[in-house]
Chains A and B, each alone.
Chain A
Amino acid sequence: MPRAFTPKVVTANDLLEGDVIYLTAAGGWTRELSEAELIVDEAEAQLRLLDAQSQPKIAVGAYLADAKAGEQGPEPTHFREEFRRTGPSNYRHGKQEAAANV
């Protein structure tokens, strides 16, 4: 039996900066996972991935990552995506650095 579809976000790395980006419901890109579109339909997810892959001047290596609905928006279900949305654990660099400078 095929495995049940689990909710996804479209994520990639930004071509110029290299940092992690997510596709929003409006079709743009955001640095924050919480602002990403949580896609619950499998066919829709494939279409949104194609949208992302057709923007090679913005997004590199787009893929569908598992996520779940949280109070502030989508949240990761795997620790790899947790690191991607936060940054490394040895220095407060990456997204956590940007957040600290706000």
Chain B
Amino acid sequence: MYKYNDFDTAFLAERNRQFRAQVERRIDGALTEDEFKPLRLMNGLYLQLHAYMLRVAIPYGTLNPDQMRALALLAQKWDKGYGHFTTRQNIQYNWPKLKDVPDMLDALAEVNLHAIQTSGNTIRNVTADHFAGAAADEIEDPRPIAELIRQWSTDHPEFQFMGRKFKIAVSGAANDRAVLKAHDLAVKIVRNDAGEIGYQVLVGGGLGRTPMIGKVLNDYVAADDLLPYIESVISVWNQLGRRDNKYKARIKITVHELGLDKIRELTEERFAQVRPTFGGADQALFEDIKRHFAAPDFREGGTEAYDAAYESDPVFRAWADTNLAAHKAPGHAIATISIKKHGATPGDATAEQMREMADIAEAYAYGELRISHEQNVILPHVHKNDLPAIHARLKAADLATANIGLISDIIACPGMDYCALATARSIPVAQEIATRFEDLKLEHDVGHLQIKISGCINACGHHHVGHIGILGLDRAGVENYQITLGGDATETAAVGTRTGPGFAYDEIVPAIERIITAYLELRESEEETFLQTYRRVGMDPFKAALYPAAEKKVA
């Protein structure tokens, strides 16, 4: 993985030195809050409901064991012993003190981590497929291009104070695991007819109060044109994007109002100006970056130990069936560690768990870890024969929940338990749904089902693209939850449809249960997933299950 060069190290040290001085000036009164706020946001520091919150970037979701240990150190030394993995490959600390934040940032810098541009109207942390570099369905590892974009966008003078934030995601696989179509801009690695690798560029996706599915702006951008092309897109939007209304400022609205063709035409015009200013330094850098992401030397050998455990140990088998994915190397697997134990807060890991995951990665997984936008941790490269030992250690650390892709593998934003913007809670709803279906022992019978919960219209919990989406709102001073069905976060991305009136806090879990009961009755076979059933039968049978009283009135 990428290791900082002297320039990176010096740059980060200088930024941290500046921020330390800014914090000191805020505390001694030389800076007002209005002056300080944009500075702290540039460095990932929010002021939330009960405390400050520090959001640390995990660029393209990749960590080495020392970095994971540093995240654990922050949790233990300056927070309350845990961290919260977010829906955009960041980690958030919910309880730092203002005076401690400069020390936290210095500790992060020691392992090449930072909180730069994790907030503010800038280009945010670049996210990637969490199976990058390991997935069997991948054309090429997307992380070098993500790192190139990270370096280019960090402190880019044109893009520090834009009309609104700008989020970029990158993937190199046929299956979209990075929610590309819900990003302002997305890069998908493709091959042209000649077999050359290039980039499809999507634009104008986003969730929030106006959900939009991203559209293909350019089917094939050559490798050496990509950075100037992205710069041109953002430059066009930065000039045209609306600044009169923050809810209409994102590029999805600009694309919607001007049309994709107009954006394409303006991008081409801008590209003609921008392209000559890229003299090839970016490509030299890209070649250097690629070397950092060379795949490990995958070991050879049979999978007897794995096969034996799979046959003899039903608990291991259940975990292997849900938490493993296909790896590109023979004898290997991608193992997802669920941070979604039933009844626990989705995405929260303790300092001890982080250290254990770091140790496991070092002992068995070629020293690599990934964080997914689905708020789980991944061991991207594992030889199958090591899986029984890994599973035993995960069990001992309370990390062996076998629920990836199932109903309790819920994405949830922090909601009103922490977030100053939230209009309702998300976490307890996620906890209760997971616990309820665990009690019913229905989870494995229900099969693949993604529930995504947001505590406000800004949709950090991706509710629009959940198979079942839940949106918490404040209705006349009471928490109220709207349900959407049929959302899809993959390459066949779709925004879910609202079922109808919302449900009170104590009604939302029973409402979800009615949907699931209806699905189990409606599906044609155990193989037909919830989303497939919904697409086949439509909304009406689910509405009838959700609102039985209203149906009777109509009848």
Contact = CB atoms under 8 A, between A and B. Distances in A.
Chains A and B belong together in one complex: yes
A79 B50 contact: no
A88 B47 contact: no
Contacts of B50: 18-20, 84, 87-88, 93-95
B97 interface: yes
B95 interface: yes
Interface size classification for chain A: 20 to 34
Interface in A51-97: 56-57, 60-61, 77-80, 83-84, 87-91, 93-95
7 contacts: A18-B47, A20-B49, A87-B50, A90-B417, A93-B95, A94-B50, A95-B50
Contacts of A57: 27, 29
A67 to B, nearest CB: 13
A15 interface: yes
A17 interface: yes
Nearest to A66: B477
A64 B99 CA distance: 27
A60 B80 contact: no
B502 to A, nearest CB: 15
A88 B428 CA distance: 10
B47 A19 contact: no
A63 B430 CA distance: 31
Nearest to A78: B477
B427 A90 contact: yes
A90 to B, nearest CB: 5
B32 interface: yes
B97 A17 contact: yes
A83 B416 CA distance: 8
B417 A88 contact: yes
B417 A56 contact: no
A83 B52 contact: no
B214 to A, nearest CB: 33
B315 interface: no
A84 B479 contact: no
A15 B416 contact: no
A84 B477 contact: no
B427 A89 contact: yes
B99, B418, B431, B474 interface centre (most CB from chain A within 10 Å):
B418
B47 A89 contact: no
A57 B30 CA distance: 10
A19 B80 CA distance: 14
Interface in B409-456: 416-418, 425, 427-428, 431
B516 to A, nearest CB: 24
Interface string A18-39: 1110000000000000000000
Interface in B13-36: 26-27, 29, 32-33
A61 B425 contact: no
Given A79-B474, A79-B478, A89-B427, 11 more contacts: A13-B47, A13-B51, A15-B27, A18-B50, A18-B98, A19-B51, A57-B29, A83-B416, A88-B418, A91-B345, A93-B94
A95 B416 CA distance: 15
Contact of A16 (B32, B98, B427): B98
A13 B49 CA distance: 8
Contacts of A17: 51, 97-98
A16 B33 contact: no
A87 B416 CA distance: 10
Contacts of A94: 50-51
Given A56-B33, A84-B49, A90-B428, A79 B477 contact: yes
Contacts of A87: 50
B32 A90 contact: no
A15 B27 CA distance: 8
Given A16-B98, A80-B416, A90 B52 contact: no
Contacts of B48: 18
Contacts of B47: 13, 18, 60-61
Contacts of B27: 15-16, 57
A79 B98 contact: no
A79 B472 CA distance: 13
Nearest to B425: A89
A89 to B, nearest CB: 5
A18 B427 contact: no
